[in-house]
Structure 1
Amino acid sequence: MQNYYTSKIVLITGGAQGIGLGLAQAFALEKAYVVITDLDWEAGAEAMAWLRKQNLAVEFMPCDVSKEEQVQQLMNKVRQQHGRLDVLINNAGIANPARKPLASLPVEEFDQVITVNLRGPLLCAKYALPLLEKGTHPTILNITSTRAFMSEPNTFGYTAAKGGLEALTHALAVSLAPQQIRVNAISPGWIETGPWQKESRKVAPQHSPQDQEQHPVGRVGTPEDIAEAALFLCSDKAGFITGQSLTIDGGMTVKMMYHE
């Protein structure tokens, strides 16, 4: 990005593992100062140590984005240490959708997914707003999911939350336009995050030919695929793009599937 991110302050929620860790590495490699926040202290410490071994400028601040007071405290720390925020990436979420039939679905589980995956990004945007207003060409990027547009059976909370986050993206884009804050989303498809987990959860990818063939590009996605798009959307190269969602799924959602 031709030094675009040099000295930029980037906050990534859920940044200690998976797509979030891939995003953290990518922005830090572009010379941004990256603040990782995550509920998992162990993963956060491992992520920070791994990134610092690469001589990257990163910091870990633990936070549960579903807790308003913790989000307030997080943004206060960012304000005290950096005074501004240039990029907010709302990536934190409950990643594995619970698959329970509607008749036996505990409402509490549905509420928990909505609270983390939808309320969390709203809280982060709300309390980051004063910091973003002090940033340079500030942007918000929401990480949603292709499950916002298509479903497997019995994934009510996750699908509803990601669909809501898609809508929240354009609501924020229009509402924050007077402050010249752009807001976009990336909707990932099947992204292999096994190698990007903390050590106790790390697994090697194992994909069958059928897994690969579901994707017109011939492979499952990686966190690097998401990171490359994020670097573009949060830069001035995307200065005329706001309120949009970019699907990155190797073409999986546009391929008609038949069983003979």
Structure 2
Amino acid sequence: MSDDRNLALVTGGAHGIGRGIVAHLLTQNWRVAFFDLDDTAGNEITAAFGNPADLLFVRCNVADESEVELALRRVISWGGRLDALVNNAGLADPVTGAVEDLTLAEWQKRLDVNLTGPFLMAKHAIPHLRGTRGTIINMASTRALQSEANTEAYAATKGGLVALTHALAVSLGPDVRVNCISPGWIDTREPDAGQEPEPLSARDHDQHPAGRVGQPRDVAAMVHYLISPQAEFITGQNMVVDGGMVRKMIYEE
């Protein structure tokens, strides 16, 4: 018997925010496919979170167009449809050193994964999303809006992703809605060799107007809202999920 429940595809779903999104959507009765390059973590998640009818892991490098095409075919063969694409995969370390020392290879590596990857995923997912009047969510960063020193490559990719979002929204509407989420400080630390990470300090939490550092569940909840019918009038937007930090004026005393 066919399963007509909605299906979401999450890239970079084995760790951090992506893992949180996968877990949350499963609790909301979505079927979920996720891409990652970490086979061990991907297989652990499928064993822990779901059954073969609910959850599919596919190893895929989102910066490689042939891999994207093949992986998407597998998702459609498994699930029969696609209702939401969450472009979460990315190289997360923003600091690349002084710009005069930044190599073209390091610059290009971040563009390939953080910006070209979402483009390739959207390009090949659009025919399936049109059929379901689906949605695309791109995961940017508050670093598209503000910067620390020596983060040019990362900031450029995230700024480009915000612009790609509104360009796609205009091109694909009304059939496909496209939005962007820009997380701030989200605590994505995982146990290392069985050891829990050190607790965050009161200062870490208190500097946020919301009173705490973010958790993957905060971003996952926004994803679920934006791909739901309740958000059908929202497209082309960049939703900042950062506990209010980009609105806080900070000067050294």
TM-score by length of 2: 0.94
Quote the offset at 1:52 in angstroms: 2.4
Aligned Cα RMSD in Å? 1.8
Q: 1:207 aligns with which of 191, 200, 205?
A: 200
Q: 1:10 aligns with which of 8, 11, 20?
A: 8
Give the AA of the match of 1:8.
Answer: N
After superposition, the Cα gap between the structure-2 partners of 1:145 and 1:45, relative to the gap in structure 1 and judged at 3 Å, is: same
Quote the offset at 1:201 in angstroms: 8.7
Match of 1:183 in 2: 178
Q: 1:169 aligns with which of 165, 172, 177?
A: 165
Quote the offset at 1:56 in angstroms: 8.3
Q: Is the 8 A contact 1:188 1:247 kept in 2?
A: yes
Give the AA of the match of 2:182.
Answer: S
Superposed counterparts of 1:169-248, under 5 Å: 169-178=165-174, 180-195=175-190, 200=193, 203-248=196-241
Moved over 4 A (4+): 199-203
Distance 2:74 2:97 in 1: 39
Give the AA of the match of 1:125.
Answer: A
Quote the offset at 1:200 in angstroms: 5.0
Q: Is the 8 A contact 2:22 2:34 kept in 1?
A: yes
Q: Is the 8 A contact 1:11 1:87 kept in 2?
A: yes
Stretch moving more, 95-104 or 115-124: 95-104
Give structure 1 stretches of 5+ with no counterpart. Answer: 1-5
Give the AA of the match of 1:32.
Answer: W
After superposition, the Cα gap between the structure-2 partners of 1:166 and 1:250, relative to the gap in structure 1 and judged at 3 Å, is: same
Does 1:43 pair with 2:38? no
Does 1:89 pair with 2:86? yes
Give structure 2 stretches of 5+ with no counterpart. Answer: none
**Deviations 1:202-239 (CA, angstroms, capped at 9, x unpaired):** 74253222211220111100000001111111111000
Distance 1:238 1:58 in 2: 24
Aligned residue pairs, count: 250
SS in structure 1 of the partner of residue 50 of structure 2: helix
SS in structure 1 of the partner of residue 56 of structure 2: strand
Distance 2:198 2:247 in 1: 24
Give the AA of the match of 1:68.
Answer: E
After superposition, the Cα gap between the structure-2 partners of 1:57 and 1:81, relative to the gap in structure 1 and judged at 3 Å, is: closer
SS in structure 2 of the partner of residue 227 of structure 1: helix
TM-score by length of 1: 0.91
Distance 1:205 1:174 in 2: 44
After superposition, the Cα gap between the structure-2 partners of 1:115 and 1:201, relative to the gap in structure 1 and judged at 3 Å, is: farther
Match of 1:125 in 2: 122
Superposed counterparts of 1:48-197, under 5 Å: 48-52=46-50, 57-135=54-132, 137-178=133-174, 180-195=175-190
Distance 2:226 2:152 in 1: 29
Distance 2:18 2:102 in 1: 29
SS in structure 2 of the partner of residue 167 of structure 1: helix
State, as a whole percentage, how many aligned pairs show the same letter: 45
After superposition, the Cα gap between the structure-2 partners of 1:36 and 1:211, relative to the gap in structure 1 and judged at 3 Å, is: same
SS in structure 1 of the partner of residue 181 of structure 2: strand
SS in structure 2 of the partner of residue 183 of structure 1: strand
